[in-house]
């Protein structure tokens, strides 16, 4: 007899385990299937352990500049093995936390490789054998993996993916990072702060290309000031790993080929959805043009009873997007099963904040100024610099700015863009504002505490309308 549930979730990342918890809260008999570690890539190999690494690098940076704060710290050094050990400990702690949440919510956990096996059926293969689970509804939350550089296989020795970069066998001396999205820039920032000679190669004409152009330009200038080499409009033509180094041919923006030797290379050119060998073809689930799973606003696929959330469905590839989609999908399922107390609504991707935890940090939500103009808006944009904020100066973090973009006709907040210390914590204020469909009037009339970095958010809004106080 197959184990029978109301819902089975395939994948236990921040989308999958949150979906399972919400389902349990709504009284659904729920199971979750995971092939590796509860918590998925995010908790074990992504969001959380990388932030632990970056925190160590941040403290090392502050210790190395103790005299800037009137302090003395001598013979400062970094123990990479200890830094990595701490990061892995953080990941382990959170993995145990998710395990506890599954137990608390009475969610059945099946460890193994899951595969759709017909309508309402899921096979799970493990070392113990194969078991068949059945459910009225199945949510696919299998996430994504690092994209390989064509012609080059990451071996963990000289050529790394993000996973290798989190548990390095040795400290890079001369590091090449291919790709300047969030993953690439975060690792470039970490290793640069830890003492490596870092070069970043980006195909687009600017780094972090999804961000506002002014943010990209500011970040590039800041990273170069820290000692990084940034090559935009460039591409790697050839990567040849050796025993002790990697020879890389780079074609720069002028078309000139340059050959360099690096101790290590990190490939961060994007991700690929995990759609292989999970039975999609057998049950007829349709992919989109980029081979992600196609879904509607409530995360339904074209096959009744089969749902999909998170990275496997396409961009933005963010943990918090996956978690929110998990709740949406489960509430839609509960509604189909007769629950009249839930009211699922489609996710508006324009209200999803994005964060990059390099030094300085980058955060944004909504449309960039250029995208707003391309969409036909007449815009008002305001910028306020960190140097005009007392708290930023007191912190010794006076580099950066906050930019807001409004619809000039209605006052609607269209987007917000930040670069500087702790902006990944500040951005949620604007995300709440966008979700509430706020205008400049509400933001102007909001009282911001003093002294805080958040005052720059207020000043940026005022600046868009020619009313900034401190510049």
Task: Give CA–CA dist 9/23, Å, rounded.
Answer: 10
CA angle 348, 353, 356 (to 5 degrees): 145
Among residues 268, 84, 266, which one has the least CA distance to residue 183?
268
Which of 343, 450, 458, 470 is catalytic? The answer is 450
The alpha carbon of 122 is separated from its chain's Cα centroid by a whole number of angstroms, namely 29
**Count of other CB atoms within 10 angstroms of residue 453:** 23
CB-CB contact of 218 with 419 (8 Å) = yes
CB-CB contact of 126 with 111 (8 Å) = yes
Among residues 351, 460, 468, 442, which one has the least CA distance to residue 405?
460
CA angle 57, 89, 52 (to 5 degrees): 25
Phi, psi of 356, deg, nearest 5: -125, 125
Whether 137 is catalytic? no
Q: Residue with structure tokens 């955060």? A: 363
Among residues 310, 305, 269, which one has the least CA distance to residue 292?
310
Q: Residue with structure tokens 């123990």? A: 79
Task: Give CA–CA dist 40/45, Å, rounded.
Answer: 8
The β-bridge partners of 435 are: none
Q: Residue with structure tokens 């009873």? A: 305
Among residues 126, 106, 147, 112, which one has the least CA distance to residue 7?
106
Helices vs strands, H then E, count in the chain: 14, 22
Q: Phi-psi bin for 396: left (phi > 0), alpha (psi -120 to 50), beta?
A: left
Active-site residue set: 450
């Amino acid at each position: 007899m197959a184990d029978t549930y109301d819902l089975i979730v395939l994948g236990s990342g921040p989308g999958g385990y949150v979906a399972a918890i919400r389902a349990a809260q709504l009284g659904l008999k729920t199971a979750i299937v995971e092939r590796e570690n509860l918590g998925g890539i995010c908790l074990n190999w992504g969001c959380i352990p990388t932030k632990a690494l970056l925190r160590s690098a941040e403290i090392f940076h502050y210790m190395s500049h103790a005299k800037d704060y009137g302090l003395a710290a001598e013979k400062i050094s970094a123990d990479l093995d200890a830094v990595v050990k701490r990061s892995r400990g953080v990941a382990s702690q959170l993995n145990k936390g998710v395990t506890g949440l599954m137990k608390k919510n009475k969610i059945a956990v099946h460890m193994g490789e899951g595969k759709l096996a017909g309508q309402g059926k899921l096979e799970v293969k493990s070392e113990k054998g194969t078991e068949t689970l059945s459910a009225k509804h199945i949510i696919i939350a299998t996430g994504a993996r690092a994209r390989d550089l064509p012609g080059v296989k990451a071996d963990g020795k000289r050529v790394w993916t993000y996973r290798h970069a989190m548990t390095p066998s040795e400290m890079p001396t001369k590091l090449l990072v291919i790709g300047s999205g969030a993953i690439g820039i975060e690792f470039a920032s970490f290793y640069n702060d830890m003492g490596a000679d870092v070069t970043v190669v980006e195909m687009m004409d600017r780094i972090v290309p999804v961000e506002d152009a002014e943010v990209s330009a500011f970040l590039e200038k800041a990273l170069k000031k820290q000692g990084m080499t940034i090559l935009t409009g460039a591409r790697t033509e050839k990567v040849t790993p050796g025993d002790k180094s990697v020879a890389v041919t780079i074609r720069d923006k002028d078309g000139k080929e340059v050959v360099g030797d690096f101790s290590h290379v990190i490939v961060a050119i994007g991700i690929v959805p995990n759609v292989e060998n999970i039975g999609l073809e057998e049950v007829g689930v349709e992919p989109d043009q980029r081979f992600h799973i196609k879904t509607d606003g409530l995360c339904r696929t074209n096959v009744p009873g089969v749902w999909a959330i998170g990275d496997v469905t396409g961009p933005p590839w963010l943990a918090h997007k996956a978690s929110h989609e998990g709740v949406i999908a489960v509430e839609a399922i509960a509604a189909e099963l007769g629950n009249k107390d839930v009211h699922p609504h489609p996710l508006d991707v324009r209200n999803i904040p994005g964060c990059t935890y390099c030094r300085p940090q980058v955060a944004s939500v909504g449309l960039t100024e250029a995208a707003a103009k391309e969409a036909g808006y007449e815009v008002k944009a305001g910028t306020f610099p960190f140097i005009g904020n007392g708290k930023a100066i007191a912190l010794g973090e006076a580099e950066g700015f906050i930019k807001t973009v409004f619809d000039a006709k209605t006052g609607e907040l269209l987007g917000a863009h930040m670069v500087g210390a702790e902006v990944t914590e500040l951005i949620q204020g604007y995300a709440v504002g966008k979700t509430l469909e706020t205008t400049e009037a509400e933001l102007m009339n909001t009282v911001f505490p003093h002294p805080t970095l958040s005052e720059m958010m207020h000043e940026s809004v005022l600046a868009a309308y020619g009313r900034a106080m401190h510049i």
